[in-house]
Structures are given as C-alpha cells and as structure tokens.
Amino acid sequence: MKNKAITSRDVDFAKWYTDIVRCAKLAEYSNTKGCVILEPNGYAIWEKIQSVLDKMFKKTGHQNIYMPMLIPENLLKKEGELVEGFAPECAWVTVGGQNVLDERLAIRPTSETLFSDYYSLKVKSYRDLPKLYNQWCSVLRWEKETRPFLRTREFLWQEGHTVHATSEEAEAETLRMLNVYKEFFEKYLAIPVILGKKTEKEKFAGAEYTYTVEALMYNGVSLQSATSHYFGQKFAKAYGIKFLNKDNEWEYAYQTSWGCSTRMIGGLIMVHSDDNGLVLPPNIAPKQVVIVPIGEDENVKQLANKYLGLLTDANICAFIDDSNRSPGFKFAEHEVNGIPVRIEIGVRDLEKGEVTLARRDTREKTNVKADCDIVKTVKNLMQDIQDNLYDRALKRRNLLTYRTDDLKEVENIIKTKPGFIYAHWCGDEACELKMKEIGGIKSRCITDEQVHDGDKCVVCHKPAKYMVVWGTQY
Amino acid sequence: MKNKAITSRDVDFAKWYTDIVRCAKLAEYSNTKGCVILEPNGYAIWEKIQSVLDKMFKKTGHQNIYMPMLIPENLLKKEGELVEGFAPECAWVTVGGQNVLDERLAIRPTSETLFSDYYSLKVKSYRDLPKLYNQWCSVLRWEKETRPFLRTREFLWQEGHTVHATSEEAEAETLRMLNVYKEFFEKYLAIPVILGKKTEKEKFAGAEYTYTVEALMYNGVSLQSATSHYFGQKFAKAYGIKFLNKDNEWEYAYQTSWGCSTRMIGGLIMVHSDDNGLVLPPNIAPKQVVIVPIGEDENVKQLANKYLGLLTDANICAFIDDSNRSPGFKFAEHEVNGIPVRIEIGVRDLEKGEVTLARRDTREKTNVKADCDIVKTVKNLMQDIQDNLYDRALKRRNLLTYRTDDLKEVENIIKTKPGFIYAHWCGDEACELKMKEIGGIKSRCITDEQVHDGDKCVVCHKPAKYMVVWGTQY
C-alpha cells in the first residue's frame, strides 16, 4: 500500500522530493521570494542537529559567539577573492529608518570578514591564540533558482571561524573539523560520506584550500554537505591580524572556517526517505517512538502510559497518539512524518500478552511480549534501524559508484544511471571545464588515492596527477 | 579591595555599566554601526536563557518554527498601526544580487506580519486551532542611540505567535505567557518584577492590549523586560485569517504574541552586579563553580579533580583553573566574570583538612572540611546565593518604590533618587504627556490595585481611574 499523496521516487524524483517536504510538513513556501518557512517538523530536525553538533564543537574546545548580520561594503571588500565570489550574491541594505545610507550594508552571505575584523582587534600576542569560535545564524545569498533545504536565499547554518599562531595548528583544525562532520554524518545522519580536497576551481573564495564532505543521493546526484577551509594568512593580511609570536616578532595569524547548514535536511530526505514519506535515522529523529493505543480499553491505556514513562526515563523521545482518529489514519501520518518506531497496542493482541512493533525503515511489523523489557527492545530496534539505514545508503552508493578513465563511458553513466565517478585528472582546469559539458559534471573532490605511472587524465589522456571523484550536483 | 578597571557604580552608573560589559568580556562594539558582537561570556548567558525558556515554552505546548528575515513592503503594510509603529525603524533591502528590486524588503523588526500571512494559509477550520508557535531569531530596528544589550539595532530575541478559535483562549494565552516570564525572572534571573497592562499610548502597535514585565535597576531606572500582547482579531482581519468555527460559520481568528530579548542580560547586569564586576545568579550562570588549585601539590590536584568529577556528575557546571597565573589574578578574573562559587584548594588549608569556599554575591569566604559532601555543600551555597540575590534586589526595589499623588513630590523623587512611583491617573493621555515633562517619566504599567472614591489623578486632580506605576526608562 502506497501513500497516494506522494509521487513515486523512481518516477519523478524532483516531484517526490517536494511531496515529502509538503506531506511531512517540513517547510512551506513563503511570500518572501526564494525563502521558505521552516515548519515545526522541519525545524525540530534542525534543533536536534544543532544540539548534537554543538556538543561536538564544544567538546573540541569551541565557544559560540554572535556577529552582526550586516556588513559595511568597505569591510566586505577588503579580501579581494571573497568579495569577487560573494558580492554578486549579496542583498544590500541601502535605506535605514528614514535615510538613504552613505554606505550600503550587505546582509552576511558568510562572516569571514566580520570575524577577521574582530580578530584584528583581539589578537595581539601568541598568548591570545588560538581563538576557536563558532556561530549559529542565518545567512543570505541571492540565488535565482531555489528548492527547500537545498538552495534558498536565506538559510540557517553554523560557521566556525578560528585563528591560530601556526599554520600547522590551523591545518590540523581544518582536518579535525572535517572529521567531526564525518562522524556526525555517519553516526547520526546515517549517511556515508567521502572526504577530499576541492579543486582550485571549486574551492571557497579566499581559501588556500577547501576540504569537502560529499554524499550521494538516492538518484545518484551529489550533495556537497559540509566544508572546512584553510585560509593560511590571506584574511590575516587583508584585515591586519598580526600578533607577537614566541620569538617576539610580528607575524600574521593563520585562520580556518568550516560550516554546514539546513541543506543537510535535504540530504536526509534524499538519502533515506521513500514513497511513503520521510524516513529518519533514530539518532537524529526529534520524535523517536509513537505509541498508538487502539480502542478505548483501560488496560491498553495503562500499558501505553507505562511504556511512555519507561521510554521517557531512558531518554527516548516517545509520545502517545490518543487522538480521535482511526488507527489506519494515524499509522499513515506517523509514517509520512518518519517516526522511526511505532508501538501499536490493541485489545486482542494484549489478550494474548502481545503488542506490535512497526519499524519505519522496512515497514516490518513484529509482535513482542507486552511485558518485555520495552526500553531494551526499543533501543535494540532503533540501533537496528540506524545501522540498516546506513548500510542501505552505503549499498546504494556503492551501486552508483564507478571507476573509469573512458570519457564515452562517463557520458553513458551520466545519461543512464548517474553517481560518483572515480576518474583520473591531469590537474588542468581546461579538462575540468570539458567534463562540465557532459551533463554538468563537476569535480566533487580530489581523493588521496595514489596515482600510478601510466594513469591518464580521463579528458586529455596526458599523465594524471590526481584521482578525482566526479558527479552532477545540487 | 576594588577592581580598578571598573568605575564605581555609585559614581557613574552609565560608565560602570559599559565597564562591566567590557571587563567581563560580554560584548564588543563592531564596525557595523549600532550593532555589537556578543562575545563568548555574553553569548553563553543567552544560550542558558534560551535553554531554560525554551523548555518552559515547550512544556506549555509551544513549537518552534523559523520565518524569513525579510518582509516584502506590501506584506508589512497590511496592518496599519503596526506599520506606523515600525516602518520608521526598518532597514530596507533595495538591491538583490546585481539588480534593483521592484519591491523593497524590510529586515524583520518583528514578525506578526509573516506569522499572520502564514496562518492565513494554514488555518481553515477550528480543528486547525490553536497554533502555538515560537521563533528564536534576530530582529533589526534602526535605533539612533545604542547601548550594549539595552538597545542595539540588531538584537536576539524570541517571539511567540499564537492563533486561537476564541478570544477567551487567546486572552488566557496572553496571561499564561506573562506568568511564564514572571516565573523565569524570579526563579532564574533572581529579578523581582511587577506585571500590568500598558496604557494605550505605550502599548504595542497593533495590539488590543499589552501586558508588560517591569523590573527596577539598581539606579532606579525601569526596564521593560518582556511583553505579552493580545491582538484580538486585528491582524486576522488585515491578513485574512478566517476559519470555520464549531457552528460551521466563518470567523476571524484571535491572536497573541509575546517576546523577550538579550536586553535581559542588561537587566541582569544592572540589578545584581557590583564594583568588582559581573554577578550572576547560579540558576542562570553558564559556569557555576570554579575550582582553583593553589600550588603544584599532588594532593591539591587530586582533590580538585575529585571535586570536578562529583560536581559535574551532579549537573553542576564546574571547571578547574590550573592556568599558570597567580591565585590573586585568577580570583579577580573569576570575580569580574561573575562565577557564583569559587573553591580554593591550598596546601596549608589542606594539611588542616580544609578548603575555602568564596561566594561571589557577598564576596565572603568560609572554610569547609575537605572531605565534606561537596555536592550538597555547593548546592546549598548556590541556593543561598540565588535567594540572597533575589532578596537584595527586592530590598533595593522596595527602597526605591514610592507612593504619592503629589506632583511636586514626584518631581523631587525623580531628581534625587528615582524609582517606581505608584500614583493615580485619570486615564487621559494629556496627563501622561504632562508626566513625561518631569524628567521623561513614563507610565510603566497599570496595576490591578483598586481605586477608591476620592482618589485623584496625580496630574489633573480629577477622579482617578487607575493606579499606575511610573518611572524613567531605558
């Protein structure tokens, strides 16, 4: 039985995606063009993501701060590459109160400029370093085509900005945060990811280099899911972040930044969900268990309440749905919303001393003893679901991962069944641009796979320098 | 011994305030005019406030959502009173990307318009009601004079927006949230507050009426600290929020909104802090206990670690300062930062089987047995500090609370020792404006105190309608 309000994923993936967003009540279009409203179900996922990541950031020594949302134009323009990259996408405030402003202000598209300006005031000695700050906020980029979670003009994110006394320390931070993201994607979002460096063409404007976290969606399209940048001294030189080092000499500081956004919710949808609605890994689901009492029986009610108490005490987020609607209606709704586990308590089952457990990932139902250790049972089931979702995603990714240095084959893959394509590259931007002509393929990242003598660039057949993962992208 | 970097509170209150903000590293001025940077110590207080209030909101059935930060001008202008109140203070985006926009967009000064527009889509039947939503975000108002936390162009806040099927239910919500704020101020911030209705002149633009939470600062100036508004059907009519009621008739819905902001941090400073720096109530302090081992002794270190483990396990936020600085330097810094409890562990004390506890509110030190139940001891001390701060603030407020219907006396109070002035009022705006000529006095709120025959308006001596609290304000 299939949810009729949802287009089939294999028939029209784009329509399926927007159907999920709508039917699971994650987000709604707004009358502010290009911006969406994050509804309770969608925002709750973001809250859960925030709470997990924030703990991981604090555990690695980071503190939160808050910078202004507006950036004076002259401040934005101090670092040339950054402004080239972002100025065309900025929204500009030109009127404040009743007056036209002398200098226009950009709504922050990202906050390197503000952090660097602040650090230039605060960093005077190696004793002031490192500063490991992060900010949770919204940013704005004037995108033309938008899609909920994947690309909207305004979106919520976190941006870490750190400053260090040595390049070694800053580079280590860049890698450390990349690995924090990896752990988060794998352990919580149940999304397998590949890590690597972006090419010069694809790196962040103003960075020395950019690490990226790349995930593959069900339809074989890639999603850049988080990034971690090493800036070297570029911003320090542009904004004057100088400190007295241990040798009592003035030196420019070394910086990093790293971020991820509500885009991850789009990734969650496109990796795990199905034709019956949202599927959420238990470790990131705001509501993990729904208990549905069937009928007006007193024993049924009592057991539902007992389960709720036990599960809540074990820090499992459970709730009872005793609303006045049919069981079938409730089951469908909780399925659409992606609640990982459903406990159905019916009179007849209970007479046999049993209750039913339904898992959202496979939609399988099993009967268990009503007097079982419900906390242990549910915990095991949730772990099973978490593992299964990861394995399923990994299998799908493996199915859609190719290795070829034959351009014809690349073309064929992209036309028929796109995915991650491992292919050698000589390092020339011209070849990267050539690849783009094939269905918009871009380099996802440079892997650290060793290149052997005789390996040739997939485009020009000159000796290869790198093994690159290629793919189409959101 | 006094902290020399901080101006005395009784000498220059305004300078004292900015000294506290700077020395406790709460906020820093930014190069975006009128906006400040919330530094780690300041932002951590906001995070703690958020976490407590958010739980209180959720416990009362509210859900979080996120609305766009930009409001198209035509949408903002649909409710006449609101736009009159806020349009003069808006920042306007007129350029997006490379193009001048057809319609300019305001950065949200508050979000009634967006919520109402959204509700007009989502509310069709009484079954869709109530909707109890809240949003944590930043808003922007083009203020001319700014002061950290008290008045800045951009500030962080929460805004609850609810919609109901009946006026009774909406009015009950308005009051319920007012009392949530009261509980929060008293139990967590240790700030005694008075509640009441704003006059017509002082109420929120677009509201039927506004409840307010008013607190008195150490210097006798009032701070409007939170507000809760009842809108009746005003916004529903302007934005078309209509639903089929239980009698199957179309009816306009009833709305409320309520909010509080980072301004509360300004209140915390001005109620509790002293000439040695910030003073924070333990219930809202991000860091509650600092353990300072003195000297390099192994037993000292062991005990510090043991205490840290015990306190952490008891959910008390403690940390060890084993930095390479003198004890005196550390004590002063943790005092400036307002850490409620300091445990000093020295070799000589420890030989006697003792450690020292220092409380930030009174700066008293006491010795306790090193092998005491440290969790219980610290918990009791924190409760003591929490209670003492509330009592101290209440005493100060009582000292600065006056009752008079004599205008000369009002004038004298404001000149010499300002505070809350209880005085009768006839209800005429003319008399309210007359009061304002006396050192800028404004009505803080209308109390529910009974008015007796013979009570006269403090200004015009005509029969009084209300007992009003008056005062100067931030």
The CATH number of the domain where B343 resides is what?
3.40.50.800
Residue range B245-254: average pLDDT?
98
Is A1 a member of any domain? Answer: no
At A394, the amino acid letter reads L
How far, in Å, CA of B277 to CA of A233, rounded?
36
Which residue among B272, B298, B329 closes a domain?
B272
| A206 and A262, same domain (yes or no) | yes
Q: Which of the four pLDDT bands, split at 50, 70 and 90, describes residue B83?
A: confident
Whether residue A132 sits in one domain with residue A28 = yes
- Phi and psi for B345 in degrees, rounded to 5? -115, 110
Is beta strand B222-232 parallel, antiparallel or unpaired with respect to B209-216? antiparallel
- Number of domains making up chain B: 3
Q: Quote the Cα angle for B299-B303-B309, to 5°.
A: 150
The chain A residue lying nearest B51, using CA atoms, is A51
Whether residue B309 sits in one domain with residue B253: no
Average pLDDT over residues A270-283: 98
User: Both A459 and A332 in a single domain?
Assistant: no
Q: Is B312 on the interface with A (CB under 8 A)?
A: no
More reliable by pLDDT, B88 or A357:
A357
Q: Does residue A308 sit within a domain?
A: yes
Beta-carbon contacts of residue A107 (< 8 Å; ≥ 6 apart): A69, A70, A71, A90, A91, A92, A93, A139, A140, B69, B93, B107
Domain enclosing residue A310, as ranges: 289-384
What's the angle, vertex CA B287, arms to CA B286 and CA B290, rounded to 5?
Answer: 175
Q: What distance in Å separates residue B415's CA from the closest CA in chain A?
A: 33
Rounded distance, CA B342 to CA B381, Å?
11
Question: Do residues A362 and A388 touch, judged by C-beta distance below 8 A?
Answer: yes
Residue pLDDT, tens place only, B32-52: 999 999 999 999 999 999 999
What percent of chain B has a predicted confidence (pLDDT) above 90? 95
pLDDT band of B13, cuts 50, 70, 90: very high
Give the nearest partner residue to B63 out of A30, A40, A114, using CB atoms: A40
pLDDT score, position A79: 87
Coil vs helix vs strand at B264: helix
Q: Measured between alpha carbons, how far is B88 from A206 in angstroms, rounded to an integer?
A: 38
For residue B411, the domain's CATH number is 3.30.110.30
Q: Average pLDDT of chain B?
A: 97
CA distance A149 to A35: 10
Q: Which of B22, B26, B29, B31 to mutate to test the interface with A (most CBs of A within 10 A)?
A: B31
Same domain, B262 and B310: no
Q: Mind listing the pLDDT tens digit for each residue in B358-389? A: 999 999 999 999 999 999 999 999 999 999 99
On whether residue B202 sits in a domain, the answer given is yes
Among B28, B63, B70, the residue to mutate for chain A (most A Cβ within 10 A): B70
A227 shares a domain with A125: yes
pLDDT at site B227: 98
pLDDT digits (tens, 9 = 90+) for A61-95: 999 999 999 999 999 999 888 888 898 899 999 99
What does the angle CA B101 – CA B103 – CA B107 come to, to the nearest 5 degrees? 90
pLDDT digits (tens, 9 = 90+) for B409-468: 999 999 999 999 999 999 999 999 999 999 899 999 999 999 999 999 999 999 999 999
Q: Which of B25, B30, B86, B136 to mutate to test the interface with A (most CBs of A within 10 A)?
A: B30
CB B390 within 8 A of CB B192: yes
Task: Please write down the long-range contacts of B344-347, taking CB distance under 8 Å and 24 or more positions apart.
Answer: B344/B292, B344/B294, B345/B291, B345/B292, B345/B293, B345/B294, B345/B300, B345/B303, B345/B304, B345/B307, B345/B370, B346/B294, B346/B295, B346/B300, B347/B294, B347/B295, B347/B297, B347/B299, B347/B300
Q: Give the CA count within 13 Å in the CB-facing half-sphere of A235.
A: 30
Q: Which CATH number do you get for residue A123? A: 3.30.930.10
CA nearest to B64 within chain A: A40
Whether pLDDT at B14 is above 80? yes
Nearest of A347, A305, A275, A290 to residue A3 by alpha carbon: A275
**Residue A139 clears pLDDT 60, i.e. is over it:** yes
Q: Considering only CB atoms, which chain B residues are within 8 Å of A36?
A: 68
| Domain shared by B221 and B363, yes or no | no
pLDDT at A115: 98
Cβ burial, residue A435 (10 Å; 0-12/13-18/19+): buried
Instruction: Note whether B45 contacts A: Cβ–Cβ < 8 A.
Output: no
Q: Is A469 exposed, middle or buried (0-12, 13-18, 19+ CB in 10 A)?
A: buried
Instruction: Compute chain A's Rg from CA coordinates.
Output: 25
Q: Is B100 on the interface with A (CB under 8 A)?
A: no
* A2: pLDDT strictly greater than 80: no
Instruction: Label residue A4 by pLDDT band (50, 70, 90).
Output: confident
Identify whether residues B120 and B216 lie together within a single domain.
yes
Which residues 154-173 on chain B approach chain A with CB closer than 8 angstroms? 154, 156
Q: Would you call B72 and A31 a contact, using CB atoms and an 8 Å cutoff?
A: yes
Averaged pLDDT for residues B322-345: 96
pLDDT at A227: 98
pLDDT band at residue B79 under the 50/70/90 scheme: confident
Please indicate, yes or no, if residue B410 is contained in any of the structural domains: yes
* Residue from A93, A143, A158, A325 whose CB has the most chain B CBs within 10 Å, to mutate: A93
Rounded CA separation A105/A14 (Å): 36
Residues A221 and A303 in one domain: no
Can you name the residues that pair with A420 across neighbouring β-strands? A401
Which of A237, A272, A307 finishes a domain?
Answer: A272
**Domain end residue (candidates: A211, A243, A272):** A272
**Percent of chain B that is helix, strand, coil (3-state, to 5):** 35, 30, 35
A216 and A348 housed in the same domain: no
Q: Please check whether residue A49 lies inside any domain of the structure.
A: yes
What distance in Å separates residue B423's CA from the closest CA in chain A?
Answer: 36
Please count the other Cβ atoms lying within 10 Å of the Cβ belonging to residue B430.
9
Q: What's the pLDDT score for residue A277?
A: 98
Backbone angles phi, psi at B62, to 5 degrees: -95, 150
Q: Which residues contact B388 (CB under 8 A, 6 or more apart)?
A: B361, B362
Residues B263 and B140 in one domain: yes
- % residues pLDDT > 90 (chain A): 95
Cα–Cα nearest to B283, from B358, B361, B189: B189
Whether A110 and A139 have beta carbons less than 8 Å apart is answered as: yes
CA B21 distance to own-chain centroid:
16
Q: Which residues of B touch A72 (CB under 8 A)?
A: 31-33
- Helices (runs of H) and strands (runs of E) counted in chain A: 14, 23
What residue ranges in A288-352 does DSSP mark as E strands? 289-293, 318-320, 341-345
Where residue A1 falls among pLDDT bands split at 50, 70, 90?
low
> Is A152 a member of any domain?
yes
A329 touches chain B (CB under 8 A): no
Residues in contact with A84: Cβ distance below 8 Å, sequence separation at least 6, in sequence order? A205
Same domain, B134 and B187: yes
The model's confidence at residue B3, banded by pLDDT at 50, 70 and 90, is confident
pLDDT at B429: 97
Residue B1: its pLDDT value, please? 57
A vs B, Cβ pairs < 8 A, gives 154
List, for residues A38-52, the tens digit of each pLDDT value.
Answer: 999 999 999 999 999
Among the partner residues B38, B66, B97, nearest to A88 by beta-carbon distance: B97
Does a structural domain hold residue A327? yes
Identify whether B331 is part of a domain.
Answer: yes
Quote the strand ranges of A61-168, DSSP E. Answer: 63-64, 70-72, 91-96, 99-107, 131-140, 154-164
Average pLDDT over residues A131-151: 96
